[in-house]
Amino acid sequence: MISPAKKITPVFNKQQRRLVWTMAVLTVIAAGLLLVFSWRLSRLNFLPAWSSLSVLPALFQGETMRETAVATLPVFSSTEELSFLSSPDGRNFAYILNNNQSQQLVLNEKAGPIVDSVTFMAFSPDSRSFAYTYKLKDKERAVINGLVGKEYDWIFNPRFFTPDSRYFIYKAREKGKDRLVINSQESRLYDRIYEPFLSPDKATLIFFARDGERLWRGEIPLNRGGDQ
């Protein structure tokens, strides 16, 4: 005959009872905090992260987009990319044509001479002047508004227009030495000219140059009034 099962009552010592009560109390506190936090969240009005930003106008709300064909380009191969430059005001443009082993610069559909390579091109900040440099037979020249400059062994950076658009400045190498050229005016030759820069008021071109054992500091005033 099988005896009926006896009810087994777990017996906890004092330390275990204290641990059970502590866990129960912490559970009740956590549940209460969760309820309070959920109630507070339900009363908050969340705004999208972008709601504080200004609203940008949508395009084409009744307006008509305008476009005008300004040039007919030659046929390019699928792997060839056009070197293109627009003036700051968007009214003029220039690009470089690749002709086998030579290049040709086109300014507003007017093609320049065929050269070995066009090495630089830039519009002035006021969009009224254009300058580029090119290599031909191992020599390099600058062209400013169609006027071809002197032949040098190498023309290199910096090449830039001044902010008032009156001067185009570049460094050139001749017979192994450097000189600065401002429009068509040249500085004397130095062994090396380090990168020139404009003064804070943009009225002076400042440069450092090495000539033999001496380091020179030069200042060239840039006339900002009258004709160039």
pLDDT in tens, 115-126: 999 999 999 999
Domain around 135: 83-186
Mean pLDDT across 201-221: 94
In this prediction, residue 71 carries a pLDDT of 74
- Report yes or no on 36 lying in a domain: no
Residue 146, CB half-sphere, CA atoms under 13 Å: how many?
5
Within 10 angstroms of residue 190's Cβ, the number of other Cβ atoms is 21
- Total of domains in the chain: 1
Give every CB contact of residue 87 below 8 A, 6+ residues apart in sequence: 93, 123, 127, 130
- Report yes or no on 74 lying in a domain: no
Mean pLDDT across 158-167: 94
- Judge contact between 197 and 204, C-beta under 8 A: no
- Report yes or no on 177 lying in a domain: yes
Environment class of residue 89 by beta-carbon count within 10 Å: exposed (0-12), middle (13-18) or buried (19+)? exposed
- Report yes or no on 128 lying in a domain: yes
Within 10 angstroms of residue 164's Cβ, the number of other Cβ atoms is 14
Please give the share of the chain, as a percent, with pLDDT higher than 90.
54
